[in-house]
Amino acid sequence: MRWSEIGGQECSIARTLSVIGDRWTLLVLREAFMRIRRFEDFQQRTGAPRPILAERLKALVDDGVLERESYCDHPSRYEYRLTAKGLDLYPVIVTLMTWGDQWMAGSEGPPVGLRHNQCGHVVRPSLACPDCGEWVGPHDTTPIVREGAWALDQGAVSS
Amino acid sequence: MRWSEIGGQECSIARTLSVIGDRWTLLVLREAFMRIRRFEDFQQRTGAPRPILAERLKALVDDGVLERESYCDHPSRYEYRLTAKGLDLYPVIVTLMTWGDQWMAGSEGPPVGLRHNQCGHVVRPSLACPDCGEWVGPHDTTPIVREGAWALDQGAVSS
DNA sequence: TCCATGAGTTCTGTTTCGGAACGTAAGCCC
DNA sequence: GGGCTTACGTTCCGAAACAGAACTCATGGA
Protein backbone atom coordinates (compact mmCIF):
# COMPACT_ATOMS: atom_id res chain seq x y z
CA MET A 1 0.00 0.00 0.00
CA ARG A 2 1.14 3.50 -0.79
CA TRP A 3 1.45 5.95 2.09
CA SER A 4 -0.63 8.53 0.23
CA GLU A 5 -3.62 6.20 0.43
CA ILE A 6 -3.77 5.69 4.18
CA GLY A 7 -6.39 8.40 4.59
CA GLY A 8 -8.79 6.07 2.78
CA GLN A 9 -8.77 3.57 5.63
CA GLU A 10 -11.70 3.65 8.00
CA CYS A 11 -9.48 4.38 10.97
CA SER A 12 -9.24 7.67 12.80
CA ILE A 13 -5.54 7.22 13.48
CA ALA A 14 -4.75 6.56 9.82
CA ARG A 15 -6.86 9.52 8.77
CA THR A 16 -5.16 11.80 11.26
CA LEU A 17 -1.77 10.64 10.02
CA SER A 18 -2.82 11.43 6.46
CA VAL A 19 -2.97 15.07 7.61
CA ILE A 20 -0.09 15.36 10.10
CA GLY A 21 1.93 12.19 9.49
CA ASP A 22 4.44 13.52 6.99
CA ARG A 23 7.99 14.50 7.85
CA TRP A 24 8.29 18.03 9.25
CA THR A 25 4.55 18.61 9.59
CA LEU A 26 4.43 18.13 13.35
CA LEU A 27 7.49 20.30 13.82
CA VAL A 28 5.72 23.03 11.86
CA LEU A 29 2.72 22.66 14.15
CA ARG A 30 4.97 22.75 17.22
CA GLU A 31 6.11 26.16 16.04
CA ALA A 32 2.57 27.25 15.23
CA PHE A 33 1.64 26.56 18.85
CA MET A 34 4.62 28.71 19.85
CA ARG A 35 3.09 31.61 17.89
CA ILE A 36 5.32 31.28 14.87
CA ARG A 37 3.41 32.43 11.79
CA ARG A 38 5.76 33.29 8.95
CA PHE A 39 7.55 31.24 6.34
CA GLU A 40 11.06 32.39 7.20
CA ASP A 41 10.54 31.76 10.90
CA PHE A 42 9.12 28.29 10.31
CA GLN A 43 12.06 27.56 8.07
CA GLN A 44 14.72 28.69 10.52
CA ARG A 45 13.17 27.08 13.59
CA THR A 46 12.26 23.71 12.11
CA GLY A 47 15.20 23.36 9.72
CA ALA A 48 12.90 21.94 7.06
CA PRO A 49 14.09 22.39 3.46
CA ARG A 50 12.29 25.32 1.86
CA PRO A 51 10.50 23.45 -0.93
CA ILE A 52 9.20 20.91 1.58
CA LEU A 53 8.10 23.57 4.01
CA ALA A 54 6.18 25.33 1.23
CA GLU A 55 4.45 22.08 0.32
CA ARG A 56 3.58 21.22 3.92
CA LEU A 57 2.14 24.65 4.65
CA LYS A 58 0.01 24.43 1.53
CA ALA A 59 -1.26 21.00 2.51
CA LEU A 60 -2.08 22.12 6.05
CA VAL A 61 -4.04 25.05 4.66
CA ASP A 62 -5.88 22.74 2.25
CA ASP A 63 -6.72 20.44 5.14
CA GLY A 64 -8.05 23.32 7.23
CA VAL A 65 -5.44 23.03 9.97
CA LEU A 66 -3.84 26.40 9.19
CA GLU A 67 -5.25 29.46 7.50
CA ARG A 68 -3.20 31.74 5.27
CA GLU A 69 -3.83 35.43 5.83
CA SER A 70 -2.37 38.48 4.20
CA TYR A 71 -0.53 40.82 6.54
CA CYS A 72 0.93 43.08 3.84
CA ASP A 73 0.11 44.13 0.27
CA HIS A 74 2.93 45.42 -1.94
CA PRO A 75 4.68 43.11 -1.72
CA SER A 76 2.05 40.52 -0.84
CA ARG A 77 2.98 38.68 2.34
CA TYR A 78 1.09 35.99 4.16
CA GLU A 79 1.13 34.37 7.56
CA TYR A 80 -0.16 31.05 8.79
CA ARG A 81 -2.37 30.66 11.83
CA LEU A 82 -3.94 27.70 13.55
CA THR A 83 -7.65 27.24 12.89
CA ALA A 84 -10.01 25.65 15.42
CA LYS A 85 -9.22 22.34 13.75
CA GLY A 86 -5.53 23.04 14.21
CA LEU A 87 -5.87 24.16 17.82
CA ASP A 88 -7.57 20.85 18.47
CA LEU A 89 -4.24 19.16 17.78
CA TYR A 90 -2.96 20.55 21.07
CA PRO A 91 -3.36 17.22 22.91
CA VAL A 92 -1.30 15.47 20.22
CA ILE A 93 1.53 17.97 20.60
CA VAL A 94 1.40 17.80 24.38
CA THR A 95 1.45 14.00 24.54
CA LEU A 96 4.37 13.84 22.11
CA MET A 97 6.25 16.29 24.30
CA THR A 98 5.36 14.43 27.47
CA TRP A 99 6.68 11.15 26.14
CA GLY A 100 9.89 12.81 25.01
CA ASP A 101 10.27 14.44 28.43
CA GLN A 102 9.87 11.05 30.06
CA TRP A 103 11.99 8.87 27.80
CA MET A 104 14.25 11.01 25.65
CA ALA A 105 15.41 13.93 27.82
CA GLY A 106 19.09 14.35 28.56
CA SER A 107 20.65 14.83 31.97
CA GLU A 108 19.53 18.44 32.12
CA GLY A 109 15.89 17.42 32.02
CA PRO A 110 13.15 18.59 29.67
CA PRO A 111 13.88 21.84 27.81
CA VAL A 112 10.29 23.11 27.92
CA GLY A 113 7.70 22.90 30.68
CA LEU A 114 4.03 23.81 30.65
CA ARG A 115 2.70 26.13 33.32
CA HIS A 116 -1.00 25.62 33.97
CA ASN A 117 -2.41 29.14 34.00
CA GLN A 118 -5.22 28.31 36.45
CA CYS A 119 -3.20 26.67 39.21
CA GLY A 120 0.24 28.04 38.36
CA HIS A 121 2.09 24.75 38.49
CA VAL A 122 4.41 23.44 35.79
CA VAL A 123 2.72 20.18 34.86
CA ARG A 124 2.55 17.31 32.42
CA PRO A 125 -1.15 17.01 31.56
CA SER A 126 -2.38 13.44 31.30
CA LEU A 127 -5.43 11.63 30.06
CA ALA A 128 -8.55 11.45 32.16
CA CYS A 129 -12.02 10.02 31.62
CA PRO A 130 -14.49 12.81 30.85
CA ASP A 131 -17.27 10.88 32.56
CA CYS A 132 -15.78 9.80 35.86
CA GLY A 133 -12.63 11.93 35.96
CA GLU A 134 -10.29 9.02 36.69
CA TRP A 135 -6.85 8.90 35.06
CA VAL A 136 -6.78 6.63 32.02
CA GLY A 137 -3.88 4.35 31.08
CA PRO A 138 -3.37 1.60 28.49
CA HIS A 139 -4.98 -1.09 30.66
CA ASP A 140 -8.02 0.95 31.62
CA THR A 141 -9.85 0.93 28.31
CA THR A 142 -11.27 -1.64 25.90
CA PRO A 143 -11.55 -0.83 22.19
CA ILE A 144 -15.10 -1.18 20.88
CA VAL A 145 -15.02 -1.78 17.14
CA ARG A 146 -18.13 -0.81 15.19
CA GLU A 147 -19.69 -3.66 13.22
CA GLY A 148 -17.77 -4.20 9.99
CA ALA A 149 -15.35 -1.38 10.59
CA TRP A 150 -12.26 -3.47 11.14
CA ALA A 151 -10.92 -6.77 9.91
CA LEU A 152 -10.27 -8.17 13.37
CA ASP A 153 -12.02 -7.45 16.62
CA GLN A 154 -9.36 -7.79 19.25
CA GLY A 155 -9.80 -7.46 22.97
CA ALA A 156 -8.27 -4.95 25.31
CA VAL A 157 -4.98 -3.21 24.94
CA SER A 158 -2.01 -5.53 25.11
CA SER A 159 1.03 -5.53 27.29
CA MET B 1 18.51 19.77 7.76
CA ARG B 2 18.19 16.06 7.24
CA TRP B 3 15.23 14.30 8.82
CA SER B 4 17.50 11.66 10.31
CA GLU B 5 19.14 14.33 12.46
CA ILE B 6 16.07 15.73 14.20
CA GLY B 7 16.65 13.56 17.26
CA GLY B 8 19.71 15.70 17.95
CA GLN B 9 17.61 18.78 18.69
CA GLU B 10 17.03 19.63 22.31
CA CYS B 11 13.28 19.31 21.95
CA SER B 12 11.14 16.53 23.33
CA ILE B 13 8.78 16.64 20.39
CA ALA B 14 11.60 16.33 17.86
CA ARG B 15 13.16 13.51 19.85
CA THR B 16 9.87 11.67 20.07
CA LEU B 17 9.40 12.04 16.33
CA SER B 18 12.87 10.61 15.76
CA VAL B 19 11.47 7.38 17.25
CA ILE B 20 7.86 7.28 16.02
CA GLY B 21 7.79 9.93 13.28
CA ASP B 22 8.49 7.73 10.27
CA ARG B 23 5.86 6.53 7.85
CA TRP B 24 4.04 3.40 9.07
CA THR B 25 5.55 3.42 12.55
CA LEU B 26 2.45 4.75 14.30
CA LEU B 27 0.23 2.35 12.39
CA VAL B 28 2.44 -0.47 13.62
CA LEU B 29 2.01 0.80 17.16
CA ARG B 30 -1.74 1.10 16.68
CA GLU B 31 -1.77 -2.61 15.93
CA ALA B 32 0.56 -3.37 18.83
CA PHE B 33 -1.99 -1.75 21.16
CA MET B 34 -4.61 -4.01 19.56
CA ARG B 35 -2.57 -7.04 20.62
CA ILE B 36 -1.02 -7.71 17.25
CA ARG B 37 2.41 -9.25 17.73
CA ARG B 38 3.56 -11.05 14.60
CA PHE B 39 5.16 -9.90 11.38
CA GLU B 40 2.51 -11.30 9.05
CA ASP B 41 -0.30 -9.76 11.06
CA PHE B 42 1.37 -6.36 11.20
CA GLN B 43 1.91 -6.56 7.48
CA GLN B 44 -1.65 -7.46 6.61
CA ARG B 45 -3.30 -5.02 8.98
CA THR B 46 -1.14 -1.97 8.30
CA GLY B 47 -0.51 -2.57 4.59
CA ALA B 48 3.09 -1.50 5.01
CA PRO B 49 5.52 -2.91 2.44
CA ARG B 50 7.41 -5.86 3.88
CA PRO B 51 10.93 -4.41 3.70
CA ILE B 52 9.76 -1.23 5.38
CA LEU B 53 7.89 -3.10 8.07
CA ALA B 54 11.00 -5.15 8.82
CA GLU B 55 13.06 -2.00 9.13
CA ARG B 56 10.53 -0.23 11.35
CA LEU B 57 10.18 -3.18 13.69
CA LYS B 58 13.95 -3.40 14.02
CA ALA B 59 14.18 0.32 14.78
CA LEU B 60 11.42 0.15 17.39
CA VAL B 61 13.21 -2.74 19.08
CA ASP B 62 16.49 -0.81 19.01
CA ASP B 63 14.74 2.18 20.56
CA GLY B 64 13.22 0.06 23.31
CA VAL B 65 9.61 0.59 22.28
CA LEU B 66 9.05 -3.04 21.32
CA GLU B 67 10.80 -6.17 22.46
CA ARG B 68 11.41 -9.15 20.20
CA GLU B 69 10.75 -12.49 21.85
CA SER B 70 11.03 -15.99 20.55
CA TYR B 71 7.82 -17.97 20.60
CA CYS B 72 9.14 -20.95 18.68
CA ASP B 73 12.47 -22.64 17.95
CA HIS B 74 12.80 -24.78 14.84
CA PRO B 75 12.00 -22.75 12.91
CA SER B 76 12.88 -19.67 14.93
CA ARG B 77 9.91 -17.35 15.17
CA TYR B 78 9.64 -14.06 17.01
CA GLU B 79 6.92 -11.77 18.16
CA TYR B 80 6.96 -8.11 19.05
CA ARG B 81 5.50 -6.75 22.27
CA LEU B 82 5.20 -3.30 23.73
CA THR B 83 7.65 -2.51 26.50
CA ALA B 84 6.88 -0.08 29.33
CA LYS B 85 8.35 2.62 27.12
CA GLY B 86 6.02 1.55 24.32
CA LEU B 87 2.96 1.33 26.55
CA ASP B 88 3.68 4.91 27.56
CA LEU B 89 2.83 5.94 24.00
CA TYR B 90 -0.81 5.18 24.75
CA PRO B 91 -1.74 8.86 25.17
CA VAL B 92 -0.23 9.66 21.77
CA ILE B 93 -2.29 6.96 20.07
CA VAL B 94 -5.45 7.99 21.91
CA THR B 95 -5.10 11.69 21.07
CA LEU B 96 -4.45 10.90 17.40
CA MET B 97 -7.59 8.78 17.39
CA THR B 98 -9.61 11.42 19.19
CA TRP B 99 -8.69 14.11 16.68
CA GLY B 100 -9.56 11.82 13.79
CA ASP B 101 -12.89 10.98 15.43
CA GLN B 102 -13.63 14.67 15.74
CA TRP B 103 -12.45 15.97 12.38
CA MET B 104 -12.03 13.11 9.95
CA ALA B 105 -14.85 10.62 10.64
CA GLY B 106 -17.37 9.88 7.91
CA SER B 107 -21.13 10.00 8.25
CA GLU B 108 -21.18 6.69 10.12
CA GLY B 109 -19.16 8.15 12.96
CA PRO B 110 -15.93 6.85 14.49
CA PRO B 111 -15.13 3.20 13.74
CA VAL B 112 -13.60 2.49 17.16
CA GLY B 113 -14.65 3.66 20.59
CA LEU B 114 -12.92 3.26 23.94
CA ARG B 115 -14.86 1.81 26.86
CA HIS B 116 -13.50 2.93 30.19
CA ASN B 117 -13.30 -0.26 32.23
CA GLN B 118 -13.87 1.47 35.59
CA CYS B 119 -17.03 3.41 34.76
CA GLY B 120 -18.21 1.45 31.72
CA HIS B 121 -18.81 4.39 29.44
CA VAL B 122 -17.47 4.73 25.91
CA VAL B 123 -15.38 7.89 26.19
CA ARG B 124 -12.84 10.12 24.55
CA PRO B 125 -10.22 10.71 27.24
CA SER B 126 -8.91 14.26 27.36
CA LEU B 127 -6.07 16.13 28.98
CA ALA B 128 -6.29 17.22 32.58
CA CYS B 129 -3.90 18.92 34.97
CA PRO B 130 -2.40 16.37 37.38
CA ASP B 131 -2.21 19.01 40.11
CA CYS B 132 -5.63 20.60 40.11
CA GLY B 133 -7.59 18.18 37.94
CA GLU B 134 -8.99 20.82 35.60
CA TRP B 135 -9.28 20.10 31.90
CA VAL B 136 -6.40 21.59 29.90
CA GLY B 137 -6.74 23.19 26.45
CA PRO B 138 -4.41 25.18 24.21
CA HIS B 139 -5.10 28.49 25.96
CA ASP B 140 -4.67 27.13 29.47
CA THR B 141 -0.92 26.64 29.51
CA THR B 142 2.18 28.76 29.02
CA PRO B 143 5.39 27.16 27.74
CA ILE B 144 8.33 27.69 30.10
CA VAL B 145 11.58 27.41 28.17
CA ARG B 146 14.68 26.43 30.16
CA GLU B 147 17.53 28.93 29.94
CA GLY B 148 19.41 28.47 26.69
CA ALA B 149 17.32 25.54 25.55
CA TRP B 150 15.58 27.27 22.67
CA ALA B 151 16.39 30.01 20.21
CA LEU B 152 13.30 32.06 20.94
CA ASP B 153 11.30 32.34 24.11
CA GLN B 154 7.77 32.90 22.97
CA GLY B 155 4.76 33.49 25.14
CA ALA B 156 1.69 31.36 25.47
CA VAL B 157 0.19 29.15 22.87
CA SER B 158 -1.16 31.06 19.90
CA SER B 159 -4.56 31.14 18.31
C1' DT C 1 22.75 51.88 -7.96
C1' DC C 2 23.46 48.33 -4.87
C1' DC C 3 22.10 45.62 -1.07
C1' DA C 4 18.64 43.47 1.88
C1' DT C 5 14.18 41.12 3.12
C1' DG C 6 10.33 37.84 2.63
C1' DA C 7 8.16 34.21 0.34
C1' DG C 8 8.43 31.18 -2.25
C1' DT C 9 10.10 28.16 -6.98
C1' DT C 10 13.42 25.59 -9.89
C1' DC C 11 17.01 22.46 -10.50
C1' DT C 12 19.57 18.35 -9.53
C1' DG C 13 21.64 14.65 -7.10
C1' DT C 14 20.61 11.56 -3.13
C1' DT C 15 17.76 8.86 -0.18
C1' DT C 16 13.78 6.38 0.73
C1' DC C 17 9.92 3.93 -0.66
C1' DG C 18 7.21 0.15 -2.52
C1' DG C 19 5.95 -4.06 -5.20
C1' DA C 20 7.34 -8.45 -6.72
C1' DA C 21 10.13 -12.13 -6.34
C1' DC C 22 13.25 -14.95 -3.73
C1' DG C 23 15.30 -17.57 0.42
C1' DT C 24 14.94 -20.50 4.40
C1' DA C 25 13.31 -23.60 7.71
C1' DA C 26 10.03 -26.29 9.09
C1' DG C 27 5.24 -29.03 9.05
C1' DC C 28 1.67 -31.49 6.57
C1' DC C 29 -0.26 -34.77 3.36
C1' DC C 30 -0.26 -38.32 0.20
C1' DG D 1 10.18 -38.62 -1.08
C1' DG D 2 7.75 -34.79 -3.55
C1' DG D 3 5.05 -31.10 -3.39
C1' DC D 4 2.26 -27.65 -0.88
C1' DT D 5 1.82 -24.37 2.92
C1' DT D 6 3.12 -21.10 6.72
C1' DA D 7 6.10 -17.64 8.88
C1' DC D 8 9.61 -14.27 8.60
C1' DG D 9 12.19 -11.97 6.54
C1' DT D 10 15.80 -10.23 2.37
C1' DT D 11 17.07 -8.77 -2.43
C1' DC D 12 16.31 -6.32 -6.44
C1' DC D 13 15.09 -2.30 -8.94
C1' DG D 14 12.15 1.39 -10.82
C1' DA D 15 9.40 5.28 -8.78
C1' DA D 16 8.62 8.81 -5.54
C1' DA D 17 10.14 11.93 -2.00
C1' DC D 18 13.63 14.53 -0.04
C1' DA D 19 17.38 18.09 0.63
C1' DG D 20 20.59 21.75 -0.56
C1' DA D 21 21.83 25.49 -3.50
C1' DA D 22 20.62 28.81 -6.54
C1' DC D 23 17.16 31.62 -8.58
C1' DT D 24 12.83 34.71 -9.02
C1' DC D 25 10.02 38.54 -7.85
C1' DA D 26 8.46 42.59 -5.49
C1' DT D 27 9.67 46.16 -2.64
C1' DG D 28 12.33 49.32 0.65
C1' DG D 29 16.40 51.66 2.18
C1' DA D 30 21.39 53.64 2.07
Cross-chain CB nearest to B99 (options A92, A101, A125): A92
> In angstroms, rounded to a whole number, what is the distance separating the alpha carbons of residues B10 and A74?
38
> In angstroms, rounded to a whole number, what is the distance separating the alpha carbons of residues B42 and B32?
8
- pLDDT tens track, chain A, 159 positions: 999 999 999 999 999 999 999 999 999 999 999 999 999 999 999 999 999 999 999 999 999 999 999 999 888 999 999 999 999 999 999 999 999 999 999 999 999 999 999 999 999 999 999 999 999 999 999 999 998 776 443 333 434
Answer whether residue B158 shows pLDDT above 90.
Answer: no
Nucleotides in chain C near protein beta carbons (<7 Å): 6-11, 15-21, 24-27
Which of B99, B126, B147 would you mutate first to test chain A, the one with the most A CBs within 10 A? Answer: B99
Give percent above pLDDT 70 in chain B. 94
Pairing state between β B66-72 and A141-145: unpaired
Cross-chain CB nearest to A115 (options B48, B110, B141): B141
Position A154 scores a pLDDT of 38
Position B152 scores a pLDDT of 40
> In angstroms, rounded to a whole number, what is the distance separating the alpha carbons of residues B71 and B61?
16
Position A73 scores a pLDDT of 87
> In angstroms, rounded to a whole number, what is the distance separating the alpha carbons of residues B141 and B132?
13
Which nucleotide is at minimal CA–C1' distance from A1?
A: C18
Position A150 scores a pLDDT of 60
| Residue B59 main-chain phi, psi, to 5 deg | -65, -40
Position B150 scores a pLDDT of 60
B129 and A118 in contact by Cβ < 8 A?
A: yes
In tens, the pLDDT along A43-87 reads 999 999 999 999 999 999 999 999 999 999 888 999 999 999 999
Pairing state between β A141-145 and A112-116: unpaired
> In angstroms, rounded to a whole number, what is the distance separating the alpha carbons of residues A137 and B21?
22
Per DSSP, helices labelled H in A5-149 are 12-20, 25-33, 39-46, 50-62, 84-87, 90-103
Position B154 scores a pLDDT of 38
pTM listed for this prediction? 0.93
In tens, the pLDDT along B40-59 reads 999 999 999 999 999 999 99
> In angstroms, rounded to a whole number, what is the distance separating the alpha carbons of residues B51 and B56?
9
Position B159 scores a pLDDT of 41
Per DSSP, helices labelled H in B47-87 are 50-62, 84-87
Average pLDDT on B55-67 reads: 98
- Residue whose CA is minimally distant from D16 C1': A2
| Residue B146 main-chain phi, psi, to 5 deg | -60, 145
Cross-chain CB nearest to B143 (options A34, A37, A126): A34
In tens, the pLDDT along B101-134 reads 999 999 999 999 999 999 999 999 999 999 999 9
In tens, the pLDDT along B10-23 reads 999 999 999 999 99
Position A45 scores a pLDDT of 96
Answer whether residue B75 shows pLDDT above 90.
Answer: no
CA atoms within 13 Å, Cβ hemisphere of A14: 23
> In angstroms, rounded to a whole number, what is the distance separating the alpha carbons of residues A83 and A81?
6
